[in-house]
Amino acid sequence: MAIISSSNQEPSKRIDKEKRIVENIKLGEDSNELKLRPQNIDEYIGQKKLKESLKISLKAAKQRNEAIDHILFYGPPGLGKTTLSMIIAKEMGSNIKITSAPALERPRDIAGILMTLQDFDILFIDEIHRLNKVAEEILYPAMEDFSLDITIGKGHSSRIKRIPLKKFTLIGATTKMGSLTSPLRDRFGIINRLEFYDIDELQKIIERSSKILNIDIDSEGALEIAKRSRGTPRIANRLLKRVRDFAQVNNKNIIDKEIANLALNILNIDEKGLDQIDRLLINTIIDSYRGGPVGIETIASAINEDITTIEDVYEPYLIQIGFLNRTPRGRIATIEAYKYFKKL
């Protein structure tokens, strides 16, 4: 239940606060960063099975003239959860409001956003596993019954008023599916996992981005960047920009394999896409702990890195490429890791 109280803040301060909580995206906005995001589902590269399923759900919702069911996207960061949400809004011809769970500190934060939504609008909440308990409970009737329960008054004189909401769609994104409570997870009608991208898909993304950014690149240069992008489009686009800087400073008119290789080596990113922390993490397990098993707290202390960062940023890719195993007893470096780092 939401407890809404009047505010003594000046109107301008309240507006500034809301801007910090929610971002209203204009889907036709002209900027390179937004242009890098595909504008419709057919332009979206990768996640083939997810796209096919989503196309059916979108078409069915539009035929019924209904809001699409609430959607939960989960998987490692940088794989396109926000981009897909913006595409869904555009396909539905609706607006999208983007926020993150940590920004929704008080009941009136989430209640205020819900009351501004119109029919078919999309509310995208990033890091939804970090919602506090009160905000999560406010979402239950909003998601199920499109209503907001507000407690008016205090003590024995308090009463609950139910306010109807427009038929909106909540899209939640999380890197930690297991951290969601069952009541929240069960209220999503569509649940999809985003997978790491293969090298061919990343090469296509890099070639598309290079055209938007007016970067001359050949297929071998794009392939070299793709190989080192950790299966992640966000990283692919970031590396493309850094290689562009290197080519520009060295008066190279086109990014080819040689230029890409030189630039990425300077950035300390090897042929598997591993950076300094990845290599330090695996080598620490092998050299200091005989390959494991070793606890995550011990690893974090040994390499002076935050546990959450290790779990969310480094481990998913290391597990994906078969260099690391998680077990009940701790982390273990695999034979593949031993071979790659020539530790056998």
Q: What is the pLDDT of residues 255-278, one digit of tens each?
A: 999 999 999 999 999 999 999 999
Two tokens at 37? 């995001």
pLDDT of residue 238: 95
Catalytic-residue membership of 30: no
Q: What is the mean pLDDT of residues 187-211?
A: 96
Catalytic-residue membership of 232: no
Tell me which H or E stretch contains 227: helix 219-227
Catalytic residue chosen out of the listed positions 126, 149, 256, 278? 126
Domain with CATH 3.40.50.300 in the chain: 2-193
Catalytic-residue membership of 272: no
Domain with CATH 1.10.8.60 in the chain: 199-266
Choose among 321, 313, 319: nearest CA to 76.
313
**CA 28 → CA 95, 162, 213, distances in Å?**
11, 36, 17
Question: Checking phi first, is residue 120 left (phi over 0); if not, alpha (psi -120 to 50) or beta?
Answer: left
For residues 30 and 116, what is the distance between their CA atoms, to the nearest angstrom?
A: 25
CATH number for domain 199-266, candidates 3.40.630.30, 3.30.470.20, 1.10.8.60, 1.10.3720.10: 1.10.8.60
Specify the fold of 2-193: Rossmann fold (3.40.50)
Sorting pLDDT into bands at 50, 70 and 90, what band is 316?
Answer: very high
Catalytic residue chosen out of the listed positions 62, 176, 208, 234? 234
Q: What is the mean pLDDT of residues 169-184?
A: 94
Specify the fold of 276-340: Arc Repressor Mutant, subunit A (1.10.10)
Catalytic residue chosen out of the listed positions 81, 187, 244, 331? 81
Catalytic-residue membership of 278: no
Catalytic residue chosen out of the listed positions 99, 169, 175, 232? 175
Catalytic-residue membership of 83: no
Tell me which H or E stretch contains 343: none
**Checking DSSP bridges between strand 190-193 and strand 71-74, what pairing results, if any?**
parallel
Two tokens at 141? 């009737």
Q: Using the 8-state DSSP alphabet, how is residue 40 labeled?
A: S
For residues 26 and 97, what is the distance between their CA atoms, to the nearest angstrom?
A: 10
pLDDT in tens, 113-137: 999 999 999 999 999 999 999 899 9
For residues 46 and 79, what is the distance between their CA atoms, to the nearest angstrom?
A: 10
**Checking DSSP bridges between strand 159-164 and strand 147-152, what pairing results, if any?**
antiparallel
Sorting pLDDT into bands at 50, 70 and 90, what band is 28?
Answer: very low
pLDDT in tens, 205-234: 999 999 999 999 999 999 999 999 999 999
